[in-house]
Amino acid sequence: GAVVSQHPSRVICKSGTSVKIECRSLDFQATTMFWYRQFPKQSLMLMATSNEGSKATYEQGVEKDKFLINHASLTLSTLTVTSAHPEDSSFYICSASDFSYEQYFGPGTRLTVT
């Protein structure tokens, strides 16, 4: 149980385009979803926290107009990287939490911006 999926697993896009990443909780209702970014050999850095039906809360230094987060249902959250640039290339990981303590992580999406 407690499976979180992400789609796509890997995406390559051209600079200036937008990319949408989906995060789904497959067998539970996620009241809260988290989006992290991980650069090579570095730790996970929290980008934002979203609660179903509410606006996301962004961490300091994360541009909310660039990283659009939508948590429209209890099983789906999306992260859209708008006007992507090469420096946005990274591994994006979501996690989901129900009413328990644990966060369940997705497998991650590797974004490469050329």
Partner 1 sequence: QKEVEQDPGPLSVPEGAIVSLNCTYSNSAFQYFMWYRQYSRKGPELLMYTYSSGNKEDGRFTAQVDKSSKYISLFIRDSQPSDSATYLCAMSEATDSWGKLQFGAGTQVVVTP
83 phi/psi in degrees, rounded to 5? 45, 60
Q: Which is nearer to partner 1, 8 or 107 (CB)?
A: 107
Residue of 21, 81, 106, 111 interacting with partner 1 (CB under 8 A): 106
Where does residue 44 rank: exposed (0-12), middle (13-18), buried (19+ CB within 10 A)?
middle
Report the nearest approach of partner 1 to the CB of residue 6 (Å). 8
Q: Is 1 in the site for partner 1 (CB under 8 A)?
A: no
3-state secondary structure of 106: coil
- Only segment of 13-21, 61-69, 72-80, 101-109 that touches partner 1 (CB under 8 A): 101-109
Reading the block at residue 72, the tokens are 């429209």
Cβ-proximal residues to 80 (8 Å cutoff; 6+ apart), any chain:
18, 19, 20, 21, 67, 68, 69, 70
Site string for partner 1, 6-45 (x = CB under 8 A): x-------------------------x-x------xxxxx
State the residues that interact with partner 1 by CB under 8 A: 4, 6, 32, 34, 41-46, 49, 91, 93, 95, 97, 99-108, 110
